[in-house]
Amino acid sequence: MEKISDRINYELFDRRIPKVRLAREVGVGRDLVSSYTRENFPEESMQIPVLKSFAAYFDKDTYYFCNDYHKFIDTVDVVKLLKRLRKEKGVTQRRFADELGVTIAMYKTYEQGKSSLPYSVYLRLRKLYGPFE
């Protein structure tokens, strides 16, 4: 099962747990659970703490309901990574921002830790520099 929604739906079905019960027992709204179980809901919009609480509820590995982007955001020091990659290349923030397809102003917010790295920028970073552990 590749999609997060499929994994959530499978656990709900397999354990015969209604969405409303999952919502109540993990402390989220039932609309959120309904959204996360829809196939077309964008995974990058899913909140990591919620996915981790689902994993705990179903007694699964912490990142069972997370994708690579979630794991990256939750485990990698993005600020340090961006600075290290940029310095290794020996380029300015502007040049690195251009490579990532973002404005210099937005890039600075990522490198300063003021904004989270969006999914689209993560994908570009991964394409340019490979997967990150």
**pLDDT, tens digit, 9 for 90 and up, residues 96-120:** 999 999 999 999 999 999 999 999 9
* Position 133 pLDDT exceeds 90: no
Q: Which amino acid makes up residue 74?
A: D
Segments forming the whole domain that contains residue 53: 4-66
Domain containing residue 105: CATH number: 1.10.260
Q: Measured between alpha carbons, how far is 4 from 63 in angstroms, rounded to an integer? A: 11
N- to C-terminal Cα distance for the chain? Answer: 22
Position 1 scores a pLDDT of: 63
Residue 132: pLDDT over 90: no
Angle at CA 125, nearest 5°, toward 127 and 2? 65
What is the 8-class DSSP label of residue 90? T
How high does pLDDT run on average in the chain? 95
Whether 71 is covered by a domain: the verdict is: no
Q: How many domains does the chain have?
A: 2
Specify whether 61 is located in the same domain as 12: yes
Q: At 25, is the pLDDT very low, low, confident or very high (cuts 50, 70, 90)?
A: very high
Q: Are 53 and 105 found together in one domain?
A: no
pLDDT value of position 130: 81
94 CB neighbour count, 10 Å cutoff:
12
Outline where DSSP puts E strands in the chain.
none
Co-location of 60 and 83 in the same domain: no
